[in-house]
Amino acid sequence: MQTHKVLKPGLFITIEIRPGQNWPFTIGSTSDDFKTITCELLMEQPRSIEIESGEEFLIVCATEGGIYKFPARVVEIEQDPVQLKLSLLKGTVRVQRREFFRLSRPLVRARYRPVNGPDDILSADLIEAPVKDLSGNGMSFIIDKSAELPSGSPLRTEIEVANGGTISLVGQVVRCIPDEPILGKSLLCVHFALIDELDRDRIVGHLFKEQIDRAGKRRRSPRRN
């Protein structure tokens, strides 16, 4: 696999150090032969993580073409802030996106903020935008064309669901579709790159409940002669 077509400087990645222990990083550079990369933890805290030189784990990144998993080994590590130099190993795989029920125009409120540095993780200034559709794996916002973002951009995202409070996660832009669903607007398609599985279950549960409620309303609607 030509990894240079996937792993690029500035790309948001998730490093699965141990099962259930995932950290968000951004790629700083790639070597000329595309066999090593450097990356930095995309969070102000913690200032250090438990990892040693020679340790192996998976790099996960989402692109428009699918989700990729890259085996990697730690070559160098710096703490405070956390920076890694990684050697890419053989065995890269492309996996299909998880299939989740998707609901159009769900009854949720959502906000997002592009993440360009640690300050964006903590900022309370988020952009509210209409939600075109939502699933347990991703969502799409309706935004102005002037607000389009490049594929791979990380997004801090908050979703308010009925009786479920606010769900916070890190998303990643898959693509922007101009003039959708109306002229002058764009569809910002987002993959949930870093989300607690309990929160994913809350989203899916909300969607199923809303689908049932919609079906009940259709059944109760009087027929027209």
Question: Any idea what the CATH number is for the domain that residue 52 is in?
Answer: 2.30.110.70
The ranges of the chain with pLDDT < 50 are: 1, 97-100, 219, 225
For residue 47, the enclosing domain spans 3-95
Q: Report pLDDT for 19.
A: 65
What's the CA gap between 42 and 12, in Å, rounded?
A: 9
Q: Report pLDDT for 99.
A: 44
The answer to whether residue 225 sits within a structural domain is no
Sheet containing strand 127-128, strands side by side: 103-104, 131-134, 138-144, 185-194, 165-178, 154-161, 109-114, 127-128
Residues 120 and 25 in one domain: no
Residue that finishes a domain, picked among 54, 70, 95: 95
How many domains does one find in the chain?
2
Q: Which two tokens stand for residue 72?
A: 């990697």
Global pTM value: 0.59
- The per-residue b/e assignment along 179-194, b for 16 or more CB within 10 angstroms, e otherwise, is eeeeeebbbbbbbbbb
Q: Report pLDDT for 4.
A: 52
Residues 87 and 124 in one domain: no
Q: Report pLDDT for 113.
A: 93
CB atoms within 10 A of CB 114: 14
Dump pLDDT digits (tens) for 194-212.
Answer: 898 888 878 887 887 787 6
Q: Report pLDDT for 222.
A: 55
Residues 114 and 188 in one domain: yes
Q: Report pLDDT for 48.
A: 86
Q: Report pLDDT for 101.
A: 64
Residues 90 and 108 in one domain: no
| CATH for 179 | 2.40.10.220
Residues 128 and 91 in one domain: no
Q: Report pLDDT for 103.
A: 85
Residues 58 and 133 in one domain: no
Residues 109 and 197 in one domain: yes
Exposure of 51 by Cβ count < 10 A (0-12 exposed, 13-18 middle, 19+ buried)? Answer: middle
Residues 168 and 134 in one domain: yes
